[in-house]
Amino acid sequence: MAEDEMKARVLDAALAHVPFDGWSERTLQAAIVETGVSAGLARSFFPRGGVDLALAYHARGDAKMVERLQTIDLSALRYRDRIAAAVRARLELADRELVRRGTTLFSLPQHAADGARAIWGTADRIWVALGDTSEDLNWYTKRATLSGVYGATVLYWLGDDSADHQATWDFLDRRIEQVMQFEKLKASFRENPLGKVFFAGPGKLFESIRAPKLPDDLPGRHQG
pTM: 0.83
Nearest-angstrom CA–CA distance, 87 and 34 = 33
Using the predicted structure, report yes or no on whether residue 195 has a pLDDT greater than 50.
Answer: no
> What pLDDT is recorded for position 167?
98
pLDDT, tens digit, 9 for 90 and up, residues 71-125: 999 989 998 999 999 999 999 999 999 999 999 999 999 999 999 999 999 999 9
Nearest C-alpha neighbor of 111 from the set 196, 22, 30: 22
For residues 149 and 179, the answer to whether their CB atoms sit within 8 Å is: yes
> What pLDDT is recorded for position 24?
97
Using the predicted structure, report yes or no on whether residue 187 has a pLDDT greater than 90.
Answer: no
CA atoms within 13 Å, Cβ hemisphere of 97: 8
Please report, for residues 35, 79, 158, 176, the alpha-carbon distance to residue 162 in angstroms, rounded to integers and kept in the order given.
Answer: 37, 26, 11, 20
Nearest C-alpha neighbor of 207 from the set 135, 132, 131: 135
For residues 31 and 10, the answer to whether their CB atoms sit within 8 Å is: yes
For residues 168-182, give the mean pLDDT: 89
Nearest C-alpha neighbor of 140 from the set 68, 192, 211, 77: 211
Transcribe 43-87 into DSSP letters.
Answer: HHH-TTTHHHHHHHHHHHHHHHHHHHHTTS-GGGS-HHHHHHHHH
> What pLDDT is recorded for position 200?
52
pLDDT, tens digit, 9 for 90 and up, residues 196-224: 443 454 444 444 445 565 444 444 443 33
pLDDT, tens digit, 9 for 90 and up, residues 129-166: 999 988 777 888 889 999 999 999 999 999 999 999 99
CA atoms within 13 Å, Cβ hemisphere of 11: 20
pLDDT, tens digit, 9 for 90 and up, residues 1-29: 788 999 999 999 999 999 999 999 999 99
